[in-house]
Amino acid sequence: MKGPLSMAADDEIVKCAACGAKNRVAADRVQQDLQPVCGECGAALATHAHPVTVTDQTFERDVLQSKMPVLVDLWAPWCGPCRMLAPTLEAVAREKAGRLRVAKVNVDENPVTANRLGVQGIPTMILFKDGSEVDRIVGAVPKSTLLRRLEAVA
């Protein structure tokens, strides 16, 4: 049983960028795309400031049903360009937190999703908004190019 002060394993502590207060954010509220606010100053908290892992089983819920735009990175650990792109995606997740979610799908572990999306080469990044694909970027691109392509939705 989860009491008012206990934390679930997937809850996170988020530091408020405005006042520095630490806030417990319930993972189930973030998954519902509810915008958490700081308990001290009321400022919006930046959740999903890091890419989230999505699987064949969670793709529908985490991407297609998301109320927030989602940039899905289809990658594999053996792929050099994918590894080179990882720090860029971390930075984009931080910069766009609260406006865009960055998700990572390992194509070796989740072949159903990769096949369903027609991925023929990696890295492939697909931008979804309201459950529909709105852009597709194939190959490692500079951060500036990626941000320019995201401007329309986030």
Catalytic positions: 79, 82
Distance of CA 102 to the CA centre of its chain: 2
Contact (CB, 8 A) for 30 and 66: no
Report the chain's C-alpha Rg in angstroms.
16
The CA-based dihedral angle spanning residues 121, 125, 128, 132, taken in that order and rounded to the nearest 10 degrees: -20
Please state whether beta strands 22-25 and 70-75 pair in parallel, antiparallel, or not at all (unpaired).
unpaired
Tokens of 119: 């991925």
